[in-house]
């Protein structure tokens, strides 16, 4: 669910493989003090009907480079407030809380190949990727990117940084809060994977209010093979 250049919100729904299902606009005529609540109700209803995970722009959509903005558009402050309301409105309906992803250049990033350049915007109405040729009306680019972002992210491996200490190797992932040390001359990292596996089990997933941590935890827990789900970054 992104901000809409025409006021209110635009949403895109895709399936678990990232295949486009439908999109729509959510706009409400309501008193200024009611507008956010009525928009939220519409989002919750749509998410409920489609059994969806709601994905929002982080930081109120700051730097999303939305085209055609005018005074009907939701401000960054209003969009951030909307995210705040959804954090408890969605769980009330037994839906997961919204996930917020970076909004930087959201409206001129290609939803198909992720190429991000202002030259992708042919006009204020039309988007066409200079890399892969993907074309769409500019207003849908934001929500299309959001809808696909989590799937792209889930396909990506979880980074685990490895640094050399004095006579040991330190493995860590800050989002997860995981740290493990092995002797530097070790040839098999299996003890680290065992430690990670224990760590994930002990965490138990009781931190739904931290969506980033929860997403990483869930991704690793669901993976049949930890080694295949992790990408080691040597520093
Ligand atoms: Zn492209």
Determine the distance separating the centroid of ligand 1 and the alpha carbon of 183, expressed in angstroms.
Answer: 44
Residue ending a domain, choose from 155, 177, 211: 155
- Total count of domains within the chain: 2
Residues with CB under 5 A from ligand 1 (ion): 110, 112-113, 115, 129, 131-132, 134
C-alpha of residue 116 to centroid of ligand 1, in Å: 8
Q: Print burial letters for 152-166: b (CB count within 10 Å at least 16), e (below 16).
A: eeeeeebebebeeee
CA distances from 89 to 33, 56, 82 (A): 17, 14, 10
Residue-level pLDDT at 52? 94
Give the mean pLDDT of 171-185. 94
For ligand 1, the distance from its centroid to the CA atom of residue 75, given in whole angstroms, is 28
In the reported structure, the alpha carbon of residue 19 is separated from the centroid of ligand 1 by a whole-number distance in angstroms of: 16
- Determine whether 41 is exposed, middle or buried from the number of CB atoms within 10 Å of its CB (0-12, 13-18, 19+): middle
Q: Tell me what the mean pLDDT of segment 18-42 comes to.
A: 90
The bridge status of strand 55-57 relative to strand 178-183 is unpaired
Residues 67/138, Cβ–Cβ less than 8 Å:
yes
Across 21-34, average pLDDT:
88
State pLDDT tens for residues 93-145.
999 999 999 899 999 999 998 899 999 999 989 999 999 999 999 999 999 99
Q: Are residues 148 and 165 in the same domain?
A: no
Residues 67 and 181 in one domain: no
168 and 147 together in one domain: no
Cα(218)–Cα(95) distance, rounded to whole angstroms? 16
User: How many whole angstroms from 108 Cα to the centroid of ligand 1?
Assistant: 10
Taking alpha carbons only, the member of 154, 145, 153, 151 closest to residue 2 is 145
Q: Are residues 30 and 95 in the same domain?
A: yes
First to last CA, the chain: 36
Place of tokens 């992720």: 114
Distance (angstroms) between ligand 1 centre and the Cα of 163 equals 35
Look at residue 170 and give its three-state secondary structure. Answer: strand
Q: If DSSP codes are grouped into helix, strand and coil, which group holds residue 55?
A: strand
16-20, 56-60, 92-96, 197-201: lowest mean pLDDT where? 16-20
Final residue belonging to a domain, choices 93, 121, 155? 155
pLDDT in tens, 67-97: 867 778 899 999 999 999 999 999 999 999 9
- pLDDT over 90 at 11, yes or no: yes
Containing domain of residue 81, as a range? 2-155
Return the structure tokens found at 94.
Answer: 């037994």
Q: How far is the CA of 232 from the centre of ligand 1 (A)?
A: 28
Comparing 104 with 215, the larger pLDDT belongs to: 104
């Amino acid at each position: 669910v992104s901000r809409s250049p025409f006021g209110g919100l635009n949403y895109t729904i895709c399936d678990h493989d990232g295949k486009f299902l439908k999109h729509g606009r959510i706009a409400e005529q309501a008193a200024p003090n009611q507008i956010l609540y009525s928009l939220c109700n519409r989002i919750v209803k749509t998410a409920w009907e489609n059994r969806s995970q709601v994905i929002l722009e982080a930081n109120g959509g700051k730097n999303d480079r939305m085209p055609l903005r005018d005074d009907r558009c939701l401000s960054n402050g209003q969009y951030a407030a909307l995210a705040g309301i959804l954090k408890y409105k969605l769980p009330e309906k037994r839906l997961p809380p919204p996930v917020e992803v970076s909004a930087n250049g959201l409206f001129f990033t290609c939803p198909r190949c992720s190429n991000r350049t202002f030259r992708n915007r042919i006009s204020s109405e039309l988007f066409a990727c200079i890399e892969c040729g993907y074309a769409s009306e500019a207003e849908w680019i934001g929500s299309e990117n959001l809808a696909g972002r989590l799937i792209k992210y889930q396909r990506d491996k979880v980074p685990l940084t490895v640094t050399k200490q004095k006579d040991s190797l330190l493995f860590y992932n800050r989002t997860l809060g995981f740290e493990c040390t092995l002797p530097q001359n070790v040839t098999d990292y299996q003890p680290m994977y065992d430690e990670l596996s224990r760590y994930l089990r002990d965490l138990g997933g009781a931190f739904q209010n931290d969506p980033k941590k929860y997403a990483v935890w869930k991704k690793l827990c669901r993976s049949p093979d930890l080694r295949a789900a992790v990408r080691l970054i040597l520093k």
